[in-house]
Amino acid sequence: MTENMLLYVCETLGQAPEWIKVLPLGTVELRDNRPPFEVDRAALDAILSKFRLDGLDLVVDYEHQSLGGGKAPAAAWIKDLEIREDGLYARVEWTEAARRHVEAGEYRYYSPVLKLEPETRRPLALMHAALTNTPAMANLPPLLAAKYGDGIIVLEDITAETAARVARSQQYAIGIKSEGHQRLCGDMIAIPEEQWGDPVNWRFPIPDATIKALRVMEEWDNPGTQEEYTPAERAIIEKRIKSRAKAVGMQIQEAKTMKDKVLGLLALKAEATDEEVFAALEVRLKTATALPEIAQVLALKAGASVSEIIGTIKGLKGNQDRLLTVETELTALKQAQSLSEAEAAVDAAIAAKKITPAMREIKLKQAQRDLAEFKAEMAVAPVILAESNLKPPKGGGGKDGLDAEQLALCATTGIKPEAFKASREKLIEQGLLREEG
């Protein structure tokens, strides 16, 4: 056997696998006397495209019970499909019952249900799959290869890099991921394994306290980055990242989430499940004397049950971001409308010659503070006439200190001489009218 031939002990170490090979490339022989069919890359592309287009998880049932039209409980759900060099693989999410069956050896195999083109028997779509001990496809490896035979199978002729990656996977208990890297290049080669958050797939390096290291931590905090990892793997990687960050002197500020605050309020531990949190919350609410008031605040009927209150709170939590966005947009709209109305009122006052253009900015601020008050003031404000008509007469005036021209103007406009005089004096005080001797 050559050095690059890998003796592969099942990666899952006796656990139900996350990825299973659904279809191999090439000729697929069947054990039930039906003719074989061919699987090429074009067929795999068609299956993957159909799966993506439908956007639905595919069921894995027991013994093809879905084909009978009766009760068919799920053993697992196919969450994703991936085309690799040797065929089509599916990422499955097992139910607890099915996981126990597989790991106990009660179910060894799986069997896909395919839609074939009638004449060519070329695969068109993957419909669903089943756990079974009598698969239709020949030469199908068992789900847990290491549990059967000698516990060792020759997987394929691979490179030393791949063999090292598998060894690291077993050492660090982190699976090989499609988003990872098989080999390093450039300055990354010099970074030792202990400085990687994920040393199996060469991801999340923190060689020192640099801006790049901060970006690594931000990337890991993104939930989308963690989707490919199991909860156990996430815990391992997060511990490695935090340990490495502390070693290079980086401060990690852990923001308290809403769940953290609720856990503190209910005196629960950080590892408490959602079910435990809501159970404790239900007990607290049942013993709360303010339960009717809480229901009233939530616009529920006075006799609302605890479950109804909890459900409403969950709904409000989910709508917080959307509500904040709507409120922000509404506030901006109101401000724009208020400004528009204030500008219209001020411009109307200028057109009516009750204020001068030079007073626009000052009066605009007044109108924005209280538009109704500004309009009321303008309704009784006198018209500001040209300065030449408002000059006080030389050598004294007539009645109320007004000259003949000003008295005639009062008679024409219906303005009382004493009101005209008071308005003129006010303008002089404000510096809007120059008093001449």
Instruction: Read off the pLDDT of each residue in 54-80 and give the average, rounded to a whole number.
Output: 88
In a domain, 357, yes or no: no
pLDDT confidence band for 93 (50 / 70 / 90): very high
Give the span between the Cα atoms of 423 and 428, in whole angstroms.
Answer: 9
Q: pLDDT of 317-360, one tens digit each?
A: 655 666 566 567 667 777 888 888 889 999 988 888 888 888 88
Under DSSP, the state recorded for 16 is P
Same domain, 308 and 409: no
Q: Structure pTM?
A: 0.35
Same domain, 99 and 219: no
Same domain, 140 and 190: no
Last residue of a domain, one of 194, 218, 247: 247
pLDDT confidence band for 6 (50 / 70 / 90): very low
Instruction: Read off the pLDDT of each residue in 37-64 and give the average, rounded to a whole number.
Output: 91
* Tokens linked to 135: 């698969």
Whether residue 175 contacts residue 200, with contact meaning beta carbons closer than 8 Å, is answered with: yes
Higher pLDDT pick, 156 / 194? 194
Same domain, 177 and 305: no
Same domain, 106 and 177: no
Range of the domain at 99: 12-155
Give the span between the Cα atoms of 124 and 116, in whole angstroms.
Answer: 6
Same domain, 212 and 269: no
Under DSSP, the state recorded for 14 is T
Among the residue ranges 70-74, 229-233, 235-239, 305-309, the one predicted with the least confidence is: 305-309
Same domain, 262 and 127: no
Distance of CA 370 to the CA centre of its chain: 41
Give the list of residues 6+ apart from residue 80 with CB closer than 8 angstroms, or none: 90, 91
The candidate with the shortest Cα–Cα distance to 76, out of 110, 123, 113, 105, is 110
Last residue of a domain, one of 212, 247, 282: 247
- The whole-number pLDDT of residue 435 equals 60
pLDDT confidence band for 91 (50 / 70 / 90): very high
Whether residue 355 contacts residue 430, with contact meaning beta carbons closer than 8 Å, is answered with: no
Number of domains the chain is built from: 4
Q: pLDDT of 164-184, one tens digit each?
A: 777 888 889 888 776 677 777
Q: What percent of the chain has pLDDT over 90?
A: 12
- The whole-number pLDDT of residue 434 equals 59
Give the span between the Cα atoms of 201 and 221, in whole angstroms.
Answer: 18
Q: pLDDT of 352-405, one tens digit each?
A: 888 888 888 888 898 888 989 989 988 888 887 544 444 444 444 555 667 766
- The whole-number pLDDT of residue 46 equals 92
Whether residue 97 contacts residue 123, with contact meaning beta carbons closer than 8 Å, is answered with: no
* Tokens linked to 434: 């120059």
Last residue of a domain, one of 318, 341, 357: 318
Same domain, 205 and 290: no
In a domain, 173, yes or no: yes
β-partners of residue 83 are: 88
Using DSSP bridges, classify how beta strands 58-62 and 123-132 pair: parallel, antiparallel or unpaired: parallel
Same domain, 33 and 150: yes
* Alpha-carbon separation of residue 408 from 88, 352, 390, 412, 416 (angstroms): 102, 21, 13, 6, 11
In a domain, 75, yes or no: yes
β-partners of residue 19 are: 91
Same domain, 128 and 166: no
- Based on its alpha-carbon atoms, the radius of gyration of the chain, rounded to whole angstroms, reads 40
Among the residue ranges 77-86, 231-240, 261-270, 399-408, the one predicted with the least confidence is: 399-408
Higher pLDDT pick, 6 / 306? 306
CB burial of 54-66 (b: ≥16 within 10 Å; e: otherwise) equals eeebbbbbbbbbb
- The whole-number pLDDT of residue 153 equals 32
Distance of CA 369 to the CA centre of its chain: 39
* Tokens linked to 99: 């996981």
β-partners of residue 109 are: 132
What is the number of other CB atoms lying within 10 angstroms of the CB of residue 242? 17
Same domain, 185 and 119: no
Same domain, 36 and 79: yes
- The whole-number pLDDT of residue 52 equals 92
What is the number of other CB atoms lying within 10 angstroms of the CB of residue 170? 12
- The whole-number pLDDT of residue 136 equals 83
In a domain, 146, yes or no: yes
Give the span between the Cα atoms of 81 and 89, in whole angstroms.
Answer: 6
